[in-house]
Structure 1
């Protein structure tokens, strides 16, 4: 694998096509489109009544989370077809207890910026260069194509987070936009969540090997227990987090009072390198499988 490899839209679309051809029980669709018109795909697997949602690549230079989620879905499908144990769980039991919707790449424009920088024909191409300090290297870029940090976009004390960040305009990270859900990507995932009425969600980020499970005491009692189970499965640390608002899991907990988690996968500096992917995936897959197993019988 090349040192500068980035898992982008081309790879994602190709792998979704492979999964669609191999597994007729995995549904494929789109939740909406990005600023630059790229589709934001989802995959759905399972038939159970408990409704889980996982998403990744909300932050552009955390693109490795897309690859982690795609590998997880593919392994889940293969285990189901072959009747194999799935990370120590009964795959058919998980399949019958819960349905899982995965949005592997919430921020496709941002990922493509990390991969290759702005295309001269793209919307905001000139502005993007200015927002990136006129550097062609976008390896530190977390935002979308309008320089908005999607994980500071949700209507859960958004004003407080914007004041805390004190970022006045577009840039590589931490600008919450002109208003909550102003960006098509954040609006799409919020609408997708409301339409499907998920029972629990995980937003996969990097890095830190931590699990954030609470939000302003709005989380249900089982959130702490589930975070402990996921931590034991993965070796990650459950963290009671304060002083952070406007994220996806914050909004989910605040709106629904249901279990929501942000998982900070891996350790190091973003973007995480591919040379540790197998070990990273082993931890994350165990954590995600344990999350599915938390679904009530």
Structure 2
């Protein structure tokens, strides 16, 4: 059934319904949200909390079209969907140089050259209001918070995230719900492996709230643990900026919602996870290698031309240098085994995770109702 819905969602060519403008970004761009359906499960989905993670917003755009269209009746009957496809339109604009619309894969060279990401403490995921009146929160966060309050409490909340590089898909689960998530985790693991992918796996011993729950599964991060991490580094200024995450904000609105975070890699790097760490020595080497590639590409893009050259000659010389560097870096990436993860696969596992959350939340509700009876 998951695969059937997924194909229908991606192939839906219905027009995007008119969304509700719930607020404006820092730079004045509209933020749109949708409330679709009337089913008993109340579901919140949000994308774009990090500026350089485009696949979640792309999938939610497909999903909104499907939910509102003629084929979405089953899902509209099952749940009431509160969806913010892209809470960060400024981030989308800042990353437009490498986020090619409709791309089936992203280009790692262009990603390294042009990606833009907010600094810790200023990203939207950890910027939600500490209470009803928190004027220091970003306008994007205040808009989402007000939208959620109108539909709360929720049974399920999913924040659609991605990673730059990883061994494969990675699933973050509300820690208190993990005992109820075992069957869903096994099903997701089979789906990933059957598709020829490897789950990302790492041991962080609670750093920033990340506790390993099982192979490829981890607890979702926590703002208090984030603050402690930066305080331990002696960075009080950054620590003070952290506000609740979207997961914490939704849970603060009542009930006991299952909160999930999808983490799909834009690019797959082999060998990670053979030793969990911390640190994972293979992941450490990959990060060093990638930092070197990025430095070389950006240096080539900004390399000065000969002082004797003029106008167009300077431009041509700079472009020639950049092309040579790019060619060399691409060859090194291919030799090392770095590969772009198909966007379709990323979306497929995002949907599988959402569906798993729906099943677990529904079954948990039915179990509680049976116990009460």
TM range (shorter): 0.5 to 0.7
Alignment RMSD (CA, Å): 3.7
Pick one of 343, 347, 354 that aligns with 1:277: 343
CA-CA distance at 1:70 after TM superposition: 1.6
Deviates more, 1:30-39 or 1:252-261: 252-261
CA-CA distance at 1:211 after TM superposition: 2.8
Cα distance in structure 1, aligned partners of 2:179 and 2:40:
21
Match of 2:56? 65
Cα distance in structure 1, aligned partners of 2:145 and 2:253:
11
- Sort the Cα spacing of 1:255 and 1:74 in 2 relative to 1 into closer, same or farther, 3 A: closer
1:31 partnered with 2:19? no
1:210 partnered with 2:164? no
1:201 partnered with 2:157? yes
Of Structure 1 and Structure 2, which has the larger fraction of its residues in helix? 2
1:44 partnered with 2:35? yes
- Sort the Cα spacing of 1:74 and 1:150 in 2 relative to 1 into closer, same or farther, 3 A: same
CA-CA distance at 1:106 after TM superposition: 0.6
CA-CA distance at 1:226 after TM superposition: 5.6
Cα distance in structure 2, aligned partners of 1:280 and 1:116:
21
Is the Cα–Cα contact under 8 Å of residues 56 and 347 in structure 2 kept in the other structure? no
Specify every segment of 5 or more residues in structure 1 that has no aligned partner in the other structure, as ranges: 1-14, 21-26, 84-90, 118-135, 158-178
Cα distance in structure 2, aligned partners of 1:274 and 1:64:
13
Cα distance in structure 2, aligned partners of 1:192 and 1:16:
27
Is the Cα–Cα contact under 8 Å of residues 14 and 66 in structure 2 kept in the other structure? no
- Sort the Cα spacing of 1:191 and 1:74 in 2 relative to 1 into closer, same or farther, 3 A: same
Deviations 1:48-67 (A, max 9, x none): 12210100011110122110
CA-CA distance at 1:110 after TM superposition: 1.2
Deviates more, 1:286-295 or 1:223-232: 223-232
Is the Cα–Cα contact under 8 Å of residues 72 and 285 in structure 1 kept in the other structure? no
1:130-279 equivalences under 5 Å are: 138-142=114-118, 148-155=122-129, 182-199=137-154, 200-207=156-163, 209-214=169-174, 219=176, 223-225=177-179, 227-235=181-189, 237-241=216-220, 243-244=225-226, 246-256=244-254, 257-266=256-265, 268=267, 276-279=342-345
CA-CA distance at 1:116 after TM superposition: 4.6
CA-CA distance at 1:100 after TM superposition: 0.7
Deviations 1:139-160 (A, max 9, x none): 032469xx92112213569xxx
Count of aligned residue pairs for this structure pair: 219
Is the Cα–Cα contact under 8 Å of residues 220 and 261 in structure 2 kept in the other structure? no
Other structure's SS at 1:193 match: helix
**Which of the two has higher C-alpha Rg?**
2
TM-score (norm 1): 0.61
1:292 partnered with 2:247? no
